[in-house]
Chain A
């Protein structure tokens, strides 16, 4: 285990007398700083998974109690839109990976373009989600107390635990949506920093961490989509 101790050898950087500008004073080397940041991000992602896991448990409990209600309620969701959104997010994961690939090759311009395409795809995801939500609100399907389906969806009101399905649906996709928004903010910030030349093949940790975050947002959706749309 002693091999894991911090290496005492200093990172040699010919461009600077002392150390590279991105290296914070309490780290010994760039490697140590990068490894630390990456481990920290992974731990943060673990907390994200656990945040959603409680919702998955709530989903499992209610579905176990009343599978019929979940089938009925799930059938009212538009799986085609959900599928489109799944493709959109998968593509965005690919573009964010591309941006890391390009910055590793020191191609800042392509990296920025990849980040901006990710941003655009995330926007598409939210627009689709907006139309899905609106379609539900129009027929009176709201989370919680306001749940009052009208028109051709009136039959839902008679099925016990259907409100719970929609509560879980809105809470899960809502919290996921908040994560998408945060991700968009981060990606926009990264694109702006990359454009201003903050990153190079020597230092691109923030982009890599943002990418990790974006992948987890994607993975959560990959679980949400079949559970909510394809029961």
Chain B
């Protein structure tokens, strides 16, 4: 990033941008600019994703065949535990809000920054503190509880569990700070004319996410404190040997960790709405339904945690109630899928890399959602619970959903973040590799699970060998695709073509009213919003990009397109409807 900034500042004619302004390490580390904080999060999370991804590769390699072994059972248990903890708590939960939310949210609503810039920076430091404690837990070793920390197993393990739970407690604050910041920013910092009905759907997604972050994270915090006290003082709340109730821990844990799934997927819904509308050049079908169903999912998400516990021994009545609400929450998700597909109808569908990820998302998330319905069926879940079917299901939702959307969003906003275009051809190849690799890896796991393969197994019986091998091969393809992305992303930072202001002919403020590389203060003048975020039929006449000058691969860009634009003037006679 800094290299790009330096390259940019070499050209003295360049306008001041957030990348060539205050570029020393110290200025980066003390910055209150939401865009820079987003990039700091991007770098930290990329490292976490790389490490946790390599751990996943080690797990798949170990499971390649029943005889082949690269590690002991203890090492295997620690590997999948760390993979799960790092991916869930340190990667997917913060990922979209902390990277893209931080970068895009103020730009999309026409604000100079988030409401509390210092709190925003604090959130990054708190997150890093959590990361350092995770490393400490790693160094102590013997952290093998699985990411779910079920008691009494976890309360009997060594001090690494204390460090890890403390790390989750601490990094929870990063999540709360971000959520709190976003809610206030969305309520109080919108540009004139940016009514609730004109908020881009990414903002609605972040808003719903933030509500869940603020309401659910304190519960995991106190649960982790109780677990630490259980370990250190044996307070006997969760450990049955001391008269405690291990099921109570599961209730507390899932009261956070199920809504956490919505922390991971709701912002992804937002990104997909942006991508599908922009690349279909069509207003989103059922804007209100998508916006409100996000909030509905956020609320209902608090009432379904018990569906993780159908075979735990909780009462049959609670299982039945949780199952019913689980179905109800499936419906708003279904509505979104149908709305997105309908948005493409009679549009102008442009299959650029971000759109490929959006379509991958539709494919994979539909499987994730439908398998979710299958494990929500009480009697069927008894068979599928804690098998690879569940592993496959949540990877379809978490990786096929959240990570695909994150990748799509990163490609979509990459030109705005770095001011550079990436190679469109490599982008498409990588998207294809990731799509194929993902399905080979995880569809086989769905079959493995329904055939009876339990999760978290170091060794397995021979009848599962073929499918496990296939899954491992798929994971190699998936990894190849992801490394390709890393490769051309780094390449584009230094050698990518200069990005135009609005390469995708998008209609939201960060493209129409912000320079190719944003100004340190985002907008040269406060934008006045006069239309909805996806009113392409109204907006085509107003902004550039839709006229063929920007091909999306950076070719044929006029120099004057790189200069900061004027604010979109108010179209006469197009007054706000409300």
Chain A interface residues (CB < 8 Å from chain B): 1-2, 4-6, 8, 24-27, 32, 35-37, 39-40, 43-44, 46-48, 50-55, 57-58, 61-62, 143-146, 160-161, 163-164, 167-168, 170-171, 175
Contact = CB atoms under 8 A, between A and B. Distances in A.
Contact of B237 (A25, A43, A48, A168): A168
B403 interface: no
B248 interface: yes
B219 to A, nearest CB: 5
Nearest to A46: B214
Interface stretch (B16-24, B38-46, B239-247, B537-545): B239-247
A171 B225 CA distance: 9
Nearest to A147: B236
Contact of B218 (A1, A48, A161, A164): A48
Contact of B229 (A54, A144, A161): A144
Interface of B: 111-113, 115-117, 119, 176, 179-181, 183-185, 187-197, 214-219, 221-223, 225-226, 229, 233-237, 242-245, 248, 252, 255, 521, 526, 576, 578
21 contacts: A2-B578, A4-B196, A6-B189, A35-B188, A43-B180, A44-B180, A47-B180, A47-B217, A47-B218, A48-B218, A50-B216, A51-B219, A54-B222, A58-B248, A144-B235, A144-B236, A144-B242, A160-B243, A163-B243, A164-B235, A167-B233
Nearest to B198: A2
For the complex of A and B, the 9 pairs showing the least CB-CB separation, nearest first, are A144-B233, A145-B234, A167-B235, A26-B112, A26-B113, A50-B218, A144-B235, A51-B218, A144-B234
B219 A53 contact: yes
Contacts of A48: 218
A66 B495 CA distance: 69
A221 to B, nearest CB: 17
A171 B190 CA distance: 42
Interface centre among B184, B190, B215, B235 (most CB of A within 10 A): B235
Nearest to A164: B236
A42 B554 CA distance: 46
Given A50-B218, A145-B234, A167-B233, 7 more contacts: A26-B111, A26-B117, A143-B233, A146-B233, A164-B235, A171-B225, A175-B222
A18 to B, nearest CB: 15
Contacts, number: 133
A211 B3 CA distance: 47
A32 B221 CA distance: 31
A120 B222 CA distance: 29
A1 B223 CA distance: 38
A61 B245 contact: yes
Contacts of B234: 144-145
Nearest to B187: A39
A118 to B, nearest CB: 25
A51 to B, nearest CB: 4
B482 to A, nearest CB: 35
A47 B220 CA distance: 11
B576 A2 contact: yes
Nearest to A55: B222
B235 A61 contact: no
Contacts of A61: 245, 248
Contacts of B190: 4-6
B195 A5 contact: yes
A24 B180 CA distance: 18
A167 B242 CA distance: 12
B122 to A, nearest CB: 13
Contacts of A171: 225-226, 229, 235
B184 A36 contact: yes
B526 A163 contact: no
B188 A54 contact: no
B115 A36 contact: yes
Contacts of A37: 116
A40 B115 contact: yes
B182 to A, nearest CB: 10
A61 B235 CA distance: 15
A54 B219 CA distance: 6
Contacts of A8: 192, 526
A40 B180 contact: yes
A175 B189 CA distance: 34
Contact of A54 (B179, B183, B223): B223
A175 B223 CA distance: 13
A88 to B, nearest CB: 26
A107 B223 CA distance: 44
A44 to B, nearest CB: 6
A163 B234 CA distance: 10
Contacts of B197: 1
Report which residue of B188, B196, B214 has the largest number of chain A beta carbons within 10 angstroms of its beta carbon. Answer: B188
A5 B242 contact: no
B183 A164 contact: no
Contact of B196 (A1, A40, A170): A1
A181 B216 CA distance: 25
A145 B233 contact: yes
A51 B221 contact: yes
A53 B302 CA distance: 14
Contacts of B225: 171, 175
A43 B244 CA distance: 32
B229 A143 contact: yes
Contacts of B183: 39, 43
A40 B226 contact: no
Nearest to B179: A43
A71 B191 CA distance: 57
Contacts of A5: 190-195
A155 to B, nearest CB: 17
Contacts of B236: 144, 163-164, 167
Contacts of A39: 183-184, 187-188
Contacts of A25: 112, 521
A185 B66 CA distance: 59
A47 B214 contact: yes
Contacts of B245: 61
B218 A163 contact: no
A34 to B, nearest CB: 10
Contacts of A161: 243
Nearest to B177: A44
Contacts of B576: 2
A214 B513 CA distance: 43
A103 B275 CA distance: 51
Nearest to A51: B218
B396 to A, nearest CB: 30
